[in-house]
């Protein structure tokens, strides 16, 4: 009998780690590698946020805190939800955790039983299915391809719901596609959910602030107040405030759920880092104007990458509404052979050959549950993006 747990057998090792590891090894061997794999902003954490953390250290705010967040941060989060989303939550309905990822983990562990189903549109953020599986439940993957702008349709959602469905995981703007749902599109989904009162919604709003061309962000509990008592609205400071390493995510929802999540957290990490919590208070209550400046830079980079990819043979790329990813199709390259002699059998071999032959690291679409695509993160300098696009073009030109 294996010493390792059976739940671990249900989880695949991260395919993104394999690509990242190969990129690292090639760079160590002296190759010139451009990494477009990382899901984090290249910008630094703003100075006022760093200063708040340093002040917290000097003030001795370096001890255990309440398991799911200091009152000051919970107040800042309530204020944020009201100001930006028109959602009114009490502090007792708020949970702060070690990144958005642990928020999702806590919610899954607090609610899922063996056999429960969780509806996840694909392509999805790599961790959703594995978090569900680790909690002992079953991910129900619903393809949402480019023909619907990488968005799940109301019909597909309706068809995926069974009496065993516990959650629907919603993510807009999305990782890995950058697709954002308009208010009308989201309303069509919430209408379906209103007909199925046993289904709860986990709305992952991590990329709320990364939206372009006037895209109006909206979230399920705001679009359909009737869902308020079965929606967990998840957000965090990692992406918008360039604070991935600080590990602060948060959520708001019905008090019974939040209390259950607190129980999970109190027996795992005890509380999120005290210093990071004070930094997050400053992030949410301090100046917000840098967001628009950074978004203008992201939008420029998105346009650069999308137009360069659409000029390359065998690729096609949609213009996404937000996040800092694009998700081009490499379907027309499948079956061809690269200049270096690799048969492009699928998006994984495409990404591997691109890395080995041209030194550009991207993540293949199978990792996100929808092929044949690959994900590019454009959270890197315009110079690197231009050079990466030149190399991708050359690689595609060489396909025979
Ligand atoms: N949700 C999505 C869609 C993400 O892309 C990520 C990070 O990549 C997270 C949640 C987790 O964010 P955090 O770094 O706060 O754990």
pLDDT at 22 over 90: no
Residue 150 has pLDDT above 70, yes or no: yes
Q: What is the pLDDT of residues 223-255, one digit of tens each?
A: 999 999 999 999 999 999 999 999 999 999 999
If you average pLDDT over residues 34-51, what whole number do you get? 93
362-386: per-residue pLDDT in tens?
A: 999 999 999 999 999 999 999 999 9
Whether pLDDT at 399 is above 70: yes
Distance, in Å, from the CA atom of 102 to the CA atom of 78, rounded to the nearest integer, reads 19
Structural domains in the chain, CATH included, are 6-44+290-397 (3.90.1150.10), 63-285 (3.40.640.10)
Find the mean pLDDT for residues 34-46.
Answer: 91
Report pLDDT for 332.
Answer: 98
The predicted structure's pLDDT at residue 242: 97
Q: How confident is the model at residue 1 (pLDDT cuts 50, 70, 90)?
A: low
What's the confidence (pLDDT) of residue 7?
Answer: 81
- Could you tell me the CA-to-CA distances from 198 to 168, 270, 318 in Å, in that order? 11, 31, 35
Q: Which of the residue ranges 27-31, 207-211, 331-335 would you say has the lowest mean pLDDT?
A: 27-31
Percent of the chain with pLDDT over 70: 100
CA of 90 to the centre of ligand 1 (A): 24
- pLDDT tens for each residue of 167-215: 999 999 999 999 999 999 999 999 999 999 999 999 999 999 999 999 9
For the entire predicted model, the pTM comes to: 0.96
Percent of the chain with pLDDT over 90: 92
Taking the centre of ligand 1 as the mean of its atom positions, its distance from the CA of residue 299, in whole angstroms, is: 20
Q: Do residues 368 and 375 lie in contact, with contact meaning Cβ atoms separated by under 8 Å?
A: yes
Centroid of ligand 1 to alpha carbon of 174 (angstroms)? 10
Which range (3-17, 131-145, 246-260) has the least confidence?
Answer: 3-17
Using the predicted structure, report yes or no on whether residue 20 has a pLDDT greater than 80.
no
Distance 138 CA to ligand 1 centre (A): 21
How much distance in Å is there from the Cα of 205 to the middle of ligand 1? 9
Between 1 and 339, residue with greater pLDDT? 339
Looking at residue 208, what is its pLDDT?
Answer: 98
The minimum-distance atom of ligand 1 relative to the CA of 40 is: 8
**Distance in Å, CA 394 to ligand 1 centroid:** 33
Cα 322 to averaged position of ligand 1 atoms, centre (Å): 14
φ and ψ at 377, to 5 degrees? -95, 125
Of 293, 396, 298, 268, the C-alpha closest to 338 is: 396
Top mutation candidate among 104, 121, 125 for ligand 1, by most atoms within 8 Å of CB: 125
Q: Is the pLDDT of residue 163 over 80?
A: yes
Cβ neighbors of 351 (< 8 A, separation 6 or more) are 19, 361, 362, 363, 364, 374
Name the pLDDT band for 273 (thresholds 50, 70, 90): very high
Average pLDDT, the chain: 96
Residues touching ligand 1 (Cβ under 6 Å) are 39, 99-101, 125, 171, 175, 204, 206, 236, 238, 244, 249
Instruction: Evaluate if residue 15 carries a pLDDT over 80.
Output: no
Using the CB atoms, write b or e for 279-306: b if 16+ within 10 Å. bbbbbbebeeebeeebbebbbebbeebb
Q: Is the pLDDT of residue 17 over 80?
A: no
CA dist., res. 170 & res. 189, Å (int): 10
Per DSSP, the three-state class of 354 is: helix
ipTM: 0.99
Q: Please give the number of the atom of ligand 1 that sits closest to the Cα of 244.
A: 14
**Which residue's CA lies nearest to atom 8 of ligand 1?**
39
Non-local (6+) Cβ contacts of 187 within 8 A are 223, 224
Q: Which atom of ligand 1 is nearest to the CA of 171?
A: 3
Mean pLDDT of 15-20: 74
CA pair distance 341, 362, nearest whole angstrom: 19
């Amino acid at each position: 009998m294996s010493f390792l747990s059976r739940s671990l057998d249900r989880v695949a090792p991260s395919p993104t780690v394999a690509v990242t590891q190969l990129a690292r090894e090639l760079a160590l061997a002296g190759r010139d590698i451009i990494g477009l794999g990382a899901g984090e902003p290249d910008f630094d954490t703003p100075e006022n946020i760093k200063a708040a953390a340093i002040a917290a250290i000097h003030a001795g705010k370096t001890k255990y805190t309440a398991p799911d967040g200091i009152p000051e941060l919970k107040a800042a989060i309530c204020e944020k939800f009201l100001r930006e989303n028109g959602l009114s939550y009490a502090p007792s309905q708020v949970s702060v955790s070690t990144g958005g990822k642990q928020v999702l983990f806590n919610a899954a562990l607090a609610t899922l039983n063996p056999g429960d189903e969780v509806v996840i549109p694909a392509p999805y953020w790599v961790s959703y299915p594995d978090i569900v599986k680790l909690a002992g439940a079953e991910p129900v993957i619903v393809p949402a391809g480019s023909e619907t702008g990488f968005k799940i349709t109301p019909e597909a959602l309706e068809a995926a719901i069974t009496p065993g469905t516990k959650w629907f995981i919603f993510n807009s703007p999305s990782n890995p596609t950058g697709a954002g749902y308009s208010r009308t599109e989201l309303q069509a989904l919430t209408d379906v959910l209103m007909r199925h009162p046993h289904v709860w919604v986990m709305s992952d709003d991590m990329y709320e602030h990364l939206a372009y061309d006037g895209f109006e962000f909206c979230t399920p509990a705001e679009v359909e107040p009737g869902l308020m008592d079965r929606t967990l609205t998840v957000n965090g400071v990692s992406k918008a405030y360039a604070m991935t390493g600080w590990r602060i995510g948060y959520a708001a929802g019905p008090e019974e759920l939040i209390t259950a999540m607190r129980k999970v957290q109190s027996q795992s990490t005890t509380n999120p880092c005290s210093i990071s919590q004070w930094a997050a208070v400053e992030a949410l209550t301090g100046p917000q104007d840098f967001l628009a400046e950074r978004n203008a830079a992201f939008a420029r980079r998105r346009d650069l990458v999308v137009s360069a990819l659409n000029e390359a043979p065998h690729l096609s790329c949609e213009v996404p509404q937000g996040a800092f990813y694009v998700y081009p199709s490499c379907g027309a390259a499948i079956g061809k052979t690269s200049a270096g002699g690799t048969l492009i059998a699928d998006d994984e071999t495409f990404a591997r050959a691109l890395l080995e032959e041209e030194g550009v690291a991207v993540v293949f679409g199978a990792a996100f549950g929808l092929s044949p695509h690959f994900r590019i993160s454009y959270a890197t300098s315009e110079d690197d993006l231009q050079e990466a696009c030149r190399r991708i073009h050359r690689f595609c030109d060489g396909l025979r």
